[in-house]
Chain A
């Protein structure tokens, strides 16, 4: 005969941060995508070391668009932090406002990345250096694009009748992933834009 020894009826149906399963899902995806970035950088460095003509191929990239991109991206960590906080407090007004800001920031970043691509001094087919520049910028670009699309959908969602309860947890989770997009850019930026200058 079953004997009930733990009563879970009073437990909440959602929570925030590492208490919930989606946080761990996002964390796991960050791990595997981070491994992808690390291996991409590893491949770039491998060729930089083994190829004696690398210095000749590695034309330094212009610093203009990437500097703007990096600046906006790093600054976006602030509204992102505020979203996390507002979501945890379940403050609908703040979450809506901040999501609008993050959507706009995301669209600006995509624009800057497009400008970056159009100004690149190498094509992917010129040499292996060019291939890696396009690969790494593209790989990170896909992450920006994915999270911005996610943010746009979430923004719309929070303006509908669904903007309640568990969706605050989703907003928090989305902000968590954005940190990954920001942090994964910094080593890429250093390697792609500054390493060839030394």
Chain B
């Protein structure tokens, strides 16, 4: 090595002044321009934004499906869409909202924010992160591409057998559905592993376990739930596709199989899935409530313990989705009890947030207003959930609109309201500009009224006996009035999202400049510029408190001694976050994109012939070897 190169490699952050350090780090950690550069980036912020934008596009698509269904149901005996298309619409709506929006949008925020909040320069395994995004994108494009080409799943978002078997549903719709599951679950599992490792090993020095922001704790528990829940659905969807493609007999009662096995595997994933979607919502709420109350969340320890309890309990509930399948009574009683038990840690969280607001000085900005909306709607959904946990009530209203009302209160109340709050809250960090407050408040009025006008009448419709998944109903049932009301509400609710979209676009162009910390928040993502530089932090912070930006004041203590011209980050010990290693973070690479592409071709091919896996695997393997093979000798040291 020439002395010049050696010197370049040895420059440390302690050798440079602030401005030169920022410029050089930004070169080291930046992404290249051009198509190859765009597809090669491993910056968690760029990948996080891509995840979020893609998820919002799918939200819009799923929302349009919902609007078409509401228009159809607005009056009795309507023929706007026929039964076949209606089946496809509710299948695509549910599938898109759960798998292409609900799960990925939580990951989007985790991927963007967790590395910033723990004070590191990139997510762990950044190339895997890039790979996961492309796999998710290809999975979503495959499902919607199939839809455009009239290959449309129409057997519901949980694709029950025997309806989803080849005998009852020929064609490729359920196969596209099953492979889309594989795509999105591969992506979700990859992100979870990255988040777990980032939180455990890349926290800034001094961020001991009891100083981890609640947002980050929540995302850690969320990732563990994914790690233990998603394998169930991957196994199940692979079994379904094998049943349809090569004639296995897992679910065929005539050959020793059992259709209920599908339901068990699906709901072993499907109930934790509710918490997979809901927990990011609670992460947003914890961050926003603290900031706008001007005090840390009341009861840090009970909050963390509740999160962990929710994580465990979420795996003990799945059978309550199967109360009408003829289970032994003792089993049903157990799952009723566990379903009620999970209300306790959820309740603890709600009380802690309320106590925080009570004790603080709440500032009613748009993010907090949406969080207040969340309290109201989510608690209402939780209460109808406690009702449904009781077997007699569940048996009565099973597969009626009461259930539709319940889970929309939980999922939209628990996830989408906090999500909108989160968009308003972190938009200035991502873009450097604040969103418009006046439009935000109008959006809240539209969303809150629209949501309740849409979904509250569904409780009544369900109690009046209106079943789910019917494309129309006769006038003499007397359901017309409430349905019309619900449809009008749906239009209002949809309009609230269009208003948000407008606000985002307009504010990104000409919103008020935000500065580093517009809300006066306490966590580390606000300690850096808005938007953050590629390196996140010019100097890695040292953490001495659970609310570093409030408690550490102007005493900016940092880590020194990292190389400036290499992608070095600090790996710390799990419990006490003591600095242990200067690990090199992988550089941008096109191979993750190519690996995702090869994987996608193999997966899609396998819908048509099992040989696609045989021929596709060596190609994927070759690409993976190219991905991992060291490109320079320096990478080894």
Contacts and interface: CB of A to CB of B under 8 A. Distances in A.
B233 to A, nearest CB: 10
A128 B636 contact: no
B247 A125 contact: yes
The winner among A7, A24, A51, A131 for most chain B CB atoms within 10 A is A131
Interface string B176-203: 0000000000000100110011001110
A14 interface: yes
B582 A11 contact: yes
Interface in B412-444: none
Contacts of B556: 1-3
A16 B77 CA distance: 69
B395 interface: no
Given A6-B579, A21-B583, A36-B235, A28 B637 contact: no
Contacts of B200: 24
A164 interface: yes
Nearest to B194: A25
Contacts of B197: 21, 24-25, 28
Interface stretch (A40-48, A65-73, A95-103, A175-183): A40-48
A44 B196 CA distance: 31
A134 B249 CA distance: 11
A62 interface: no
B630 A11 contact: no
B148 interface: no
A57 B249 CA distance: 12
B258 A47 contact: yes
A11 B193 contact: no
Nearest to B193: A28
A82 B256 CA distance: 45
Contact of A24 (B196, B234, B252): B196
Contacts of B36: none
Given A39-B235, A40-B235, A8 B557 contact: no
A9 B247 contact: no
Contacts, number: 192
A70 to B, nearest CB: 24
A32 to B, nearest CB: 5
The winner among A8, A33, A132, A165 for most chain B CB atoms within 10 A is A8
Interface string B230-261: 11101100010010001111101001111011
Interface residues of B, number: 67
B192 A28 contact: yes
Interface string A145-174: 000010001000100011011110000000
Contacts of B625: 153
A46 B255 contact: no
Given A3-B556, A161-B633, A20 B581 contact: yes
Given A25-B125, A43-B265, A33 B582 contact: no
A147 to B, nearest CB: 12
Contact of B255 (A21, A31, A126, A135): A126
A24 B261 contact: no
Could you tell me the dominant secondary structure of chain A's interface residues?
helix
B586 to A, nearest CB: 11
Contact of B234 (A3, A36, A129): A36
Interface in B560-581: 560-562, 568, 570-571, 573, 579-581
A166 B571 CA distance: 15
A29 B193 contact: yes
A128 B250 contact: yes
A178 B215 CA distance: 35
A15 B250 contact: no
A114 to B, nearest CB: 14
Interface string A82-96: 000000000000000
Contacts of B629: 153, 157
B150 interface: no
Nearest to B585: A21
Contacts of B502: none
B570 A131 contact: no
A124 interface: yes
B425 to A, nearest CB: 27
B258 A11 contact: no
A55 to B, nearest CB: 10
Given A14-B581, A24-B196, A32 B189 contact: yes
B255 A5 contact: no
B580 A19 contact: yes
A130 interface: yes
The winner among A11, A19, A21, A54 for most chain B CB atoms within 10 A is A21
10 contacts: A2-B539, A2-B558, A3-B556, A13-B568, A20-B571, A57-B256, A127-B256, A131-B242, A131-B248, A165-B636
Given A6-B560, A125-B249, 11 more contacts: A11-B570, A11-B579, A20-B201, A32-B231, A35-B232, A36-B231, A43-B264, A51-B258, A124-B247, A129-B256, A162-B633
Interface of A: 1-15, 19-21, 24-25, 28-29, 31-33, 35-36, 39-40, 43, 46-47, 50-51, 53-54, 57, 124-132, 134-135, 149, 153, 157, 161-162, 164-167
Minimum-distance CB pairs A-B, first 5 = A9-B561, A4-B560, A128-B257, A131-B248, A128-B256
